[in-house]
Structure 1
Amino acid sequence: MSRRVGAATLVGVLALAGCAALPQPAPPVPGSVVPSSAPAPSASADGSQLSPDGFDAAQRMAVRIRNIGCGALSTGSGFAVDEHTLVTNRHVVADSAELELSTYDGRDVTAEAASTAALADLAVVRTVDALPAAPVLADADPAVGDPVTVVGYPLGRQLTVTDGRVVGAVTDPLNENLGEVLVTDAPVEPGSSGSAALDAEGRVIGVVYAKNADDMSFLVPVSTLRDLLADETAFAPAPACG
């Protein structure tokens, strides 16, 4: 099966944080959109995937992000990569006056600094407070047909877990990333930007950053994420509003 998706699928691509649409931005957090949700991954027979509070590691590492800008509010998602660092999208944290972070259990986490990448729609946020859990990054990008689970906070509301598969790869339709990005049919909504996309073993295989009118979602692949995290020059302080 070809890894490339036809151009017809790229009509109406949306950036998912703050509900920005091309060519004109749509209103933030439209109330008419209902987030898709699916059951959380089930525990193994001995319950080892679940903590005593009933959340598994995939849910514990997800972070809700509220970007309070100059006269505007947008929402997005992110995930921890270590105790004091989370990954999200560049457009989730750009033009902010303040970032408000919260975890799966409703705990507020203080953001210390945000940095954005120039070559991909990625950002890292350093936190003062410790984050609950961090996933493992996959060693390689997934293949067409591989399962995908997206964990995030669509519309800035409840934590959701949605499932799908990798359907192909394509040159980024938003021209935000170098090289190809992944396309999946895992449901996402505005506010899902920055969500981790996981493989069947719970490893990160990409970062959600957009969807199109056919409800296909787009991922920055883990290979790009790994390359940028390993490059000390890849990130610069995020632009603030005003």
Structure 2
Amino acid sequence: MEHAPHEAVRPETRTAGAGTARWIVAGVVALVVVALLAYRLGGGGKGEQAAVTPSPTPSVELTVTEVFERTGPSVVVIRAGPSLGTGVIAAEDGTIVTAYHVVKEAEDVTVTFSDGTKADAVVASSNPRADVATLRPARLPEIVVPATLGGAVAVGAPVVAIGNPLGLTYSVSTGVVSGLDRTVTKGDLSGLIQFDASVNPGSSGGPLLDARGSVIGIVVSIADPGGDEAFAGIAFAVPIGAALGDDGEGPGGGPQI
């Protein structure tokens, strides 16, 4: 790159006048532009691999709007008899994870995908003790968008909940992780993520997301000191690892939404 200005000036054919100055300036500008492009494509000069890293990546923290745009297409509305709940697509075959109590003993279960596609669904598996279940829909939307599962969970970390509280579909609320491995004596709930993003009846089964849009838990219950199913600032989710496990261990029972 040090020889580029000399090649652009071509001293054997030009004099050191105004024309030479213009060629020097043009050469310098070209070098600056090339350097800036190389810096941006190379991730600030951190190596050749950075040039092919897609953006945004799962390691990039997103705004709440971006989290919703990323995961909203994976969220579904569930109706099971009189129960209203939420679910999240967990696999490319359309398997949906939700809270068990939403579909418990229901004869007819229907799901509505984000694009408006409606389908009957059957309970493919259930873990009543962990209050989680999976559904298999009879039909799928043209484009299936599974959510990204898993992610780090830390007290104080920001979280986003997407659900259908009180029938207000695709509602978004934000908060933080308030505690980990929580045990609620009433109902023998244990191993839960405590968070303070607002959730209400209809939110059950919905995803609890980290700042990268990854599902870290499935919403299952709220603290209900007044006995009126009103949000009191304390909610709980089954960690996604426990929700997808099949060992029967984990939380169960409790005040459900």
What is the letter of the counterpart of residue 225 of structure 1?
Answer: A
Alpha-carbon displacement from aligned partner over 1:6-60 (angstroms, at most 9, x marks no partner)? xxxxxxxxxxxxxxxxxxxxxxxxxxxxxxxxxx9334xxxxx8xxxxx723111
Q: 2:241 aligns with which of 223, 234, 239?
A: 223
The partner residue of 2:167 within 137, 140, 156 is 156
Task: Report the TM-score, using the length of structure 2 for normalisation.
Answer: 0.62
In the TM superposition, what are the counterparts of 1:48-197 in structure 2 within 5 Å?
Answer: 56-68=69-81, 73-82=82-91, 83-130=93-140, 132-140=144-152, 142-169=153-180, 170-175=182-187, 177=189, 179-197=190-208
Whole-Å separation in 2 of the counterparts to 1:173 and 1:60: 36
Structure 2 residues not aligned, in runs of 5+? 1-62, 225-231, 250-257
**One-letter code of the match for 2:237?**
L
Task: Give a deviation string over 1:141-179, Cα, whole Å, max 9, x none.
Answer: x110011100111123321111100011311445365x4
Equivalent residue letter for 2:146: A
* 1:237 alignment partner in structure 2: none
8 Å CA contact 2:194, 2:235 repeated in 1: yes
Any idea what the Cα deviations from partners look like across 1:60-111, whole Å, max 9, x if unmatched? 111101111xxxx110111000132000011000021100110123220231
The residue number in structure 1 matching 2:65 is 42
Q: Which secondary structure state, in structure 1, belongs to the residue aligned with residue 147 of structure 2?
A: coil
* Superposition deviation, residue 137 in structure 1: 1.1
Asked whether the 8 Å contact 1:89–1:122 carries over to 2, the reply is yes
Contact 2:83 2:103 survives alignment (8 Å): no
Report the secondary structure of 1:171's partner residue.
strand
Larger helix share, 1 or 2? 2
Q: How far apart, CA to CA, are the structure 1 residues paired with 2:73 and 2:188?
A: 29
Distance 2:193 2:185 in 1: 11
**Aligned-partner SS, 1:125:** strand
Alignment of 1:229-240 (within 5 A): none
- CA distance in structure 1 between the aligned counterparts of 2:70 and 2:138, rounded to whole angstroms: 21
CA separation in 2, counterparts of 1:118 and 1:59?
26
Identity %, equivalent residues: 33
Q: Deviations over 1:167-196 (max 9, x none)?
A: 11311445365x411110000011100010
CA contact (8 A) 2:77 2:169 kept: no
**Which structure ranks higher in relative contact order (CA pairs < 8 Å, sequence separation ≥ 6)?**
1
TM-superposed CA distance for 1:139, in Å, is 4.5
Amino acid at match of 1:224: A
Amino acid at match of 2:65: S
The CA RMSD over aligned residues, in Å, is 2.3
Cα distance in structure 1, aligned partners of 2:149 and 2:185: 25
